[in-house]
Amino acid sequence: MGAMKPVMLFTIVLMAAIILAASFGLHIMPTESLFNLSPETAASTLYLCPAADSVWDSIAAGLRGGLRYINMFFFFSAFLLVFGWMWALYQNLLKDKFEKKAFDNTWGFTKAWFWAIIIVAVLVATPNRFRSVSVAGSDERWVLCEENNPGAVTFPANAVKR
């Protein structure tokens, strides 16, 4: 095995830096607020933007309706997966030698099962799912946003519900 290629190392470092910057709200340039709120009202005010309907939000909403059945399928398949691993191990113990062939199907099923869980989790957990809120007296869909986002509106915090 050779050393990691410089392009791959740069890509990993850059992705880690982007994720950290996005997670902790770091900005390259200073941001200007679109609102001038008094200190008394700023403490009890939330900034909301209208939620844009997207294909991903529609897919997530559709999957969330059947999430109970999706979870039941994954737990059932997990039992089958454990049974497959135990059966392959039993076959190897019975012969008193290790044969890789006994684990081939189970390993393929494990990889498919893992990636199916990742794909469903990503499709169900869209970013708007975690930021979506409702406002008392409004039928619109809102998401939490920053004070410098275009289209941001201020609402009293006690009128906003998760």
Asked if the structure places residue 81 within a domain, the reply is: yes
Asked if the structure places residue 114 within a domain, the reply is: yes
pLDDT at 31: 63
Residue type, 35: F
Of residues 51, 33, 52, 45, the one with CA closest to residue 154: 45
pLDDT at 51: 80
pLDDT at 1: 46
**Count of Cβ atoms closer than 10 Å to residue 93 Cβ:** 10
Asked if the structure places residue 25 within a domain, the reply is: no
**pLDDT values of the chain reduced to their tens digit, one per residue, 162 residues:** 456 788 888 988 898 888 888 777 777 766 665 566 666 666 677 888 888 777 887 888 888 888 899 999 999 999 999 999 999 999 889 888 888 888 899 999 999 999 999 999 888 887 777 778 888 877 788 888 877 777 788 888 787 887
Asked if the structure places residue 2 within a domain, the reply is: no
Cα 141 to its chain centre, rounded Å, is 20
pLDDT at 38: 60
**DSSP designation for 146:** -
Asked if the structure places residue 93 within a domain, the reply is: yes
**Cut 0.75: pTM above it:** no
Instruction: Say whether 58 sits in a helix, a strand or coil.
Output: helix
pLDDT at 113: 95
The domain tally of the chain equals 1
Distance of alpha carbon 48 from alpha carbon 160, whole angstroms: 9
Range of the domain at 91: 41-161
pLDDT at 118: 93
Does residue 143 contact residue 49 with C-beta atoms inside 8 Å? yes
Asked if the structure places residue 55 within a domain, the reply is: yes
pLDDT at 145: 82
Asked if the structure places residue 134 within a domain, the reply is: yes
Asked if the structure places residue 91 within a domain, the reply is: yes
